[in-house]
Amino acid sequence: DTGVSQDPRHKITKRGQNVTFRCDPISEHNRLYWYRQTLGQGPEFLTYFQNEAQLEKSRLLSDRFSAERPKGSFSTLEIQRTEQGDSAMYLCASSSIGRVGETQYFGPGTRLLVL
Amino acid sequence: AQSVSQHNHHVILSEAASLELGCNYSYGGTVNLFWYVQYPGQHLQLLLKYFSGDPLVKGIKGFEAEFIKSKFSFNLRKPSVQWSDTAEYFCAVISYGSSNTGKLIFGQGTTLQVKP
């Protein structure tokens, strides 16, 4: 079990640029989640996939955000025309549904700073 | 809207003191409850979870939590804290309504500082 990995770990960009983050879930997990965490707050749900299907998106996810999970394995989160308000930690989590419930395991996150 | 409230934002304790962190949630249906911990410089790790059954659940490193359905609470406890427990603690809930989305709703977090 290698855990959830995310790349890059840090990203500094200028306002207006596009950025893309990658998440590699735990291999046997069929669910993948994206969250955003700002300073002093708990993580907030952005979107989730079951296999390759994106099943729910939060209202936090504006049109500038898009996420994919093309083969049901890794996922990418793209932010177009970044704004300073996008600065945050972007977390990825994966899970599989057990007999009783679901436990999500988190990656280290990608910290985005928009200048 | 569903929400999770953590009562204490910053707690300072001396080693060997007892710890209780409060967590209340707003949803009245079926819930799964979690406590996650984030040690300095590390990622979120699962501390313990409640799905069903015995409302007193035990987690790693001597932590436990009690689910009290009537109070919509899931408080975290540890009888004797150590300096290494210094971290940020998050309570989180999955509420299963009409959809089967397992999205976690997190509280704001509690920063615990343990003085040696």
Q: Mean per-residue pLDDT for B17-41?
A: 92
Residue showing tokens 């509420």: B95
The per-residue pLDDT for range B43-74, each reduced to its tens digit, is 999 999 999 999 999 999 999 999 999 999 99
If contacts are CB pairs under 8 Å, which of residues 76-115 in chain B contact chain A?
90, 92, 94, 99, 101-109
- DSSP 3-state of B10: strand
Contact, B49 vs B60, CB < 8 A? no
Say yes or no: A57 contacts chain B, CB-CB below 8 A: no
User: pLDDT grade, residue B113 (50/70/90)?
Assistant: very high
Phi and psi of B109, rounded to 5°? 100, 150
Statement: residue B98 has pLDDT above 70: no
Of B43, B101, B104, nearest to A108 by CB-CB distance is B43
User: pLDDT grade, residue B80 (50/70/90)?
Assistant: very high
Of B46, B106, B107, nearest to A103 by CB-CB distance is B46
Say yes or no: A78 contacts chain B, CB-CB below 8 A: no
Q: What is the pLDDT, as a whole number, of residue A90?
A: 98
The span from the CA of B49 to the CA of B60, in Å, is 10
Q: What is the pLDDT, as a whole number, of residue B92?
A: 96
Q: What is the pLDDT, as a whole number, of residue A60?
A: 82
Statement: residue B99 has pLDDT above 70: no
Give 3-state DSSP helix, strand, coil % of chain A, rounded to 5. Answer: 5, 50, 45
- A64-to-A59, A78, A105, A112 alpha-carbon distances in Å: 12, 8, 26, 15
